[in-house]
């Protein structure tokens, strides 16, 4: 849905940013396509830890338990030890089981395929109404598992879009989900997370961004403020 209060010049700039990112990094959504419960649990494991530790603990979890039903029924302290390498493991074990329990209560089974055909806004509402699930987690599940056109706003997406001047500095990450999906052309949204994360890691780094090598510098508010 587009917001008439968003200035045309911001929309035009967003389109240019999208087109250039696609030209340099491609249009693919992601190589990662996991079942939605896997994505959901991975986002819980990823909190306050590195990708390496998250993937390691997720691997241990999948090795130890064959089904999500087994994870739900496991003793919580046992599950905590299995995912220990992700850090904050007692809390995460509790959250994983609480989330699975809530899904089972609502759906009658541990299955999220109902989200595939649900209207997009409804699917977002459904997921974010789960205890502890915010807009980023909901967007990750919908984008990576179902390839639906949503934009997870992680730290890279948030930083790069603020520096470019697509959203204001004081905009929260939660609000950025709504604004960026309104600003960006819908055709660009599926690949946008992957491309902005790559740009944030390789060029627009948190410390010492490589502005002189950046193909977006002519559009960048932060860069023009340096002159």
| Candidate segments 30-38, 64-72, 181-189, 218-226, binder of ligand SF4 by CB under 6 A | 218-226
The alpha-helical segments, DSSP class H, found in the chain are 8-25, 36-45, 51-64, 68-73, 76-82, 89-107, 120-128, 135-140, 146, 155-164, 173-183, 189-202, 221-226
In our burial notation (b when 16+ CB lie closer than 10 A, e otherwise), range 75-91 reads eeeebbebbbbbbbbee
Closer residue to ligand SF4 (CB): 163 or 194 = 163
**Which residue is listed with tokens 């541990």?**
110
Q: State the minimum distance, in angstroms, from the CB of residue 219 to ligand SF4.
A: 8
| 12 CB-contact burial (10 Å; exposed 0-12 / middle 13-18 / buried 19+) | exposed
Rule CB under 6 A: is residue 217 a binding residue for ligand SF4? yes
Closer residue to ligand SF4 (CB): 21 or 179 = 21
Rule CB under 6 A: is residue 36 a binding residue for ligand SF4? no
Is 172 within 8 Å of 187 (Cβ atoms)? Answer: no
Looking at residues 188 to 207 of the shown chain, list those that interact with ligand SF4 (rule: CB under 6 A).
Answer: 203-204
Q: How far apart are CA 185 and CA 187, in angstroms?
A: 5
Binds ligand SF4 (CB under 6 A): choice among 129, 222, 225, 227? 222
Q: How far apart are CA 78 and CA 76, in angstroms?
A: 5
Rule CB under 6 A: is residue 220 a binding residue for ligand SF4? yes
| Candidate segments 30-38, 60-68, 129-137, 217-225, binder of ligand SF4 by CB under 6 A | 217-225
Looking at residues 144 to 183 of the shown chain, list those that interact with ligand SF4 (rule: CB under 6 A).
Answer: 160, 163-164
**206 is written with which tokens?**
């948190």
Q: State the minimum distance, in angstroms, from the CB of residue 205 to ligand SF4.
A: 8
Q: State the minimum distance, in angstroms, from the CB of residue 210 to ligand SF4.
A: 6
> Given the rule CB under 6 A, which residues bind ligand SF4?
160, 163-164, 203-204, 209-211, 214, 216-217, 220, 222-223
């Amino acid at each position: 849905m587009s917001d008439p209060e968003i200035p045309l010049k911001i929309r035009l700039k967003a389109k240019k940013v999208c087109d250039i990112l696609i030209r340099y990094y491609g249009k693919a959504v992601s190589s990662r396509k996991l079942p939605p419960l896997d994505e959901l649990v991975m986002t819980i494991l990823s909190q306050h830890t590195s990708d390496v530790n998250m993937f390691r603990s997720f691997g241990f979890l999948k090795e130890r338990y064959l089904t999500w039903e087994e994870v739900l029924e496991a003793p919580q302290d046992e599950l905590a030890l299995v995912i220990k390498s992700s850090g904050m493991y007692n809390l995460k074990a509790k959250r994983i089981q609480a989330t699975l329990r809530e899904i089972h209560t609502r759906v009658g089974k541990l299955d999220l395929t109902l989200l595939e055909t649900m209207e997009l806004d409804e699917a977002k509402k459904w997921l974010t109404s789960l205890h502890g699930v915010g807009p980023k987690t909901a967007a990750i599940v919908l984008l990576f598992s179902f390839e639906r056109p949503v934009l997870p706003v992680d730290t890279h997406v948030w930083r790069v879009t603020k520096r470019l001047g697509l959203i204001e500095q004081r905009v929260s990450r939660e609000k950025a989900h709504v604004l960026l999906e309104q600003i960006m052309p819908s055709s660009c949204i599926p690949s946008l997370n992957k491309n902005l994360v790559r740009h944030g890691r390789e060029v627009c780094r948190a410390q010492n961004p490589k502005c002189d090598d950046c193909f977006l510098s002519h559009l960048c508010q932060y860069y023009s403020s340096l002159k």
